[in-house]
Chains A and B, each alone.
Chain A
Amino acid sequence: MKFTWFNLMPWPYLPEDFRESSRSVWVDIPNTLFDPARANAVYHTYMDQLEYADELGFDGIGVNEHHQNGYGIMPSPNLIAAGLARRTSNAAICVIGNSIALYNPPIRVAEEFAMLDCISGGRLVAGFPVGTPMDTNFCYGQIPALTRDKYAEAHELIIRAWAAEEPFAFDGKYNQLRYVNCWPKPIQQPHPPIYIPGGGSIETWDFCLDHDYNYSYLSFAGYLNAKRLMDGYWDRVAARGLDESPYRAAFAQIICVADTDAEAERLYSEHVLYFFNRCLHVYPGFSDPPGYRTIDTIKAGAVDQFRAAMQKIFANLTWQQLVDDGHIIAGSPETVIDRMKELITSLRVGHVFGLFHCGNMADWKTRHSTKLFAERVMPHLRTMWPDWDGDNRWWIRPLAARVRPDETIVEARRDPELPRDVAAG
């Protein structure tokens, strides 16, 4: 099993009456609620937490992209990843990811991801989400019915750019470039592992399988609600005659660990409820613009998690319901081990993106939960998939001799041509 410590980076100062006073946490959130001076400490706290997860031995540290969003103050995950690449040395830097249809031209993603891979010594996991309607259509103005087509073209351009050894012309529908010539290029060849985060569009399954990418189901509804969708994915894997390596798939889960179940409620309840009550308060009109979803997905009934009905459920949940319904996994290390085993086997996932910081959780509580998970939960889950031990097809391949933050000079930096005093300095 591989565990990635993920931070959505919520804004922790939404007012108590946010649901009543604001229409939506996303797209048209009142931006007067954002306080840049407070953001200084917020960003550093969140980045410190990601670095702490690296120290504790998490396999990956994860960031993602949202725009005009109260639960994600990270419109550019690449900026955060660049900071992490400099101050960590072991964990994969999982950027899950860049909404490639939004970059003009998308070669920008090929370049920035290549930079991140080089700076991190080959530790980048590259995520290519289609993007939510909130981000893609309403914030960034992409036409719903053309979003997938534009995404597909951007994907083709990036993959070709990483692979090509000579400049080529790209005559696309959305991008025309006379000289595509990716510079720099990624360390990991032919490209870093690619993860496709999906919210429930069934087309994404075939796209992942066509290209041998990891399918990451990101849902805040928890693992029990994810079963039906993940079963659909694994049916598709079987129907196509592919092996059933659990490392093909990842799942995101909110996890809170304390010494006892009661202590978990006492420590974390307030923050988890902040997340479900305030951070997921999305105006339903933004969740499904006509044209965004394909007809097949509508027919399959893959209902978006922000639909009005789900909203109502989220808004009135209690801690006990959140735990019982599997929206969150919370409790003592023993409880969390049991529930995590259930999650891992029932969804058949080799990767878990753990959301340990939740809503407006204090830094010390986040670290407490994270440390307990790393020390008292993770070791019991490492060998859940013995038949697939060492299957690293969807994982990073870093340089063995890479620059590390705690070393002032390393082999990789020593240039034999330099005079000794310069090399030493």
Chain B
Amino acid sequence: MFEIGSLLKLTDKNEYVVVSSAQKDGKTYYYLIDQNNFSNVQFLVEEKIENETYLKEVEDSKILEQIYPLLLENGKKFLKK
């Protein structure tokens, strides 16, 4: 699991800040912002394929709605540290 505040360089060649993460139904979700282009945001879910970790875009709008509050809550906890 990637911690909030860490940096991820993905295969789209962009470097993202992990703004928040959340667990739901056994899956880990991330809210990322491109540190060089703030309009490039990603909501991704972690997937393991043959022991390699991939991040896949969240497609289901209902899941998006469900994870927003979790992401906000976890992000706030990070900022209070």
Real binding pair: no
